[in-house]
């Protein structure tokens, strides 16, 4: 029914975009034909007239057009509200699809980074576990000379002093 060149948008959408571009300015049917021909569309005249009658209203019949009635090429036309809202819905849908695609790409990248970091972590943990640990004689002497009980008592005394200070400040 509609023949279009590759990478061309749908004829219906092009017709709506033409109407949107001419909002507030009356135009004639022939202007739409010239616009579509310039964009390289090949279409059946009957189908285009059906779209046109459904999407545009004549200045002389503001209540809408009859899709079965011939279009007067001398009349001035405007885009119908419903056509404008159809185009808005189409543009929002395309925008949502693009946003969804971008979000999907970011999610895939995040998953790949997560997998790589997990395997890297496993590799280094495994490597660390398989590496023998050694304590130098100097380190061993430090551990041996440490009086753990005295150090713990010192920490407890310091904690009690801090607690006493806090109690005095809240009174």
Q: What average pLDDT score do residues 41-67 get?
A: 76
The model's pTM is 0.52
Separation between Cα atoms, residue 122 and residue 48, nearest integer Å = 64
SS3 42: strand
User: Given pLDDT bands bounded at 50, 70 and 90, which one contains residue 161?
Assistant: very high
Separation between Cα atoms, residue 76 and residue 60, nearest integer Å = 8
Separation between Cα atoms, residue 16 and residue 36, nearest integer Å = 11
Separation between Cα atoms, residue 77 and residue 26, nearest integer Å = 5
**Model pLDDT, residue 142:** 82
Task: List pLDDT tens digits, range 103-116.
Answer: 999 999 999 999 99
The tokens describing 23, both together, are: 């909002």
**Model pLDDT, residue 98:** 92
Rg of the chain over Cα atoms, rounded to whole angstroms, equals 39
Place of tokens 């036309």: 77
**Model pLDDT, residue 28:** 87
């Amino acid at each position: 029914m509609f023949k279009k060149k590759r990478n061309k948008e749908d004829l219906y959408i092009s017709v709506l975009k033409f109407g949107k571009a001419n909002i507030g300015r009356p135009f004639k049917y022939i202007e739409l034909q010239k616009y579509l021909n310039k964009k390289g569309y090949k279409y059946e005249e009957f189908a285009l007239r059906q779209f046109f009658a459904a999407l545009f209203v004549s200045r002389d019949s503001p209540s809408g057009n009859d899709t079965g009635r011939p279009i007067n090429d001398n009349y001035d036309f405007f885009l119908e509200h419903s056509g404008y809202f159809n185009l808005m819905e189409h543009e929002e849908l395309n925008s949502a699809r693009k946003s969804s695609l971008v979000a999907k790409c970011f999610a895939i990248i995040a998953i790949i980074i997560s997998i790589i970091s997990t395997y890297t972590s496993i590799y280094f943990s495994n490597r660390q576990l398989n590496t023998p640990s050694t304590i130098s004689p100097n380190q061993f002497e430090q551990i041996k000379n440490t009086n753990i009980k005295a150090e713990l008592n010192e920490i407890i005394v310091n904690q009690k002093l801090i607690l006493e200070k806090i109690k005095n400040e809240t009174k």
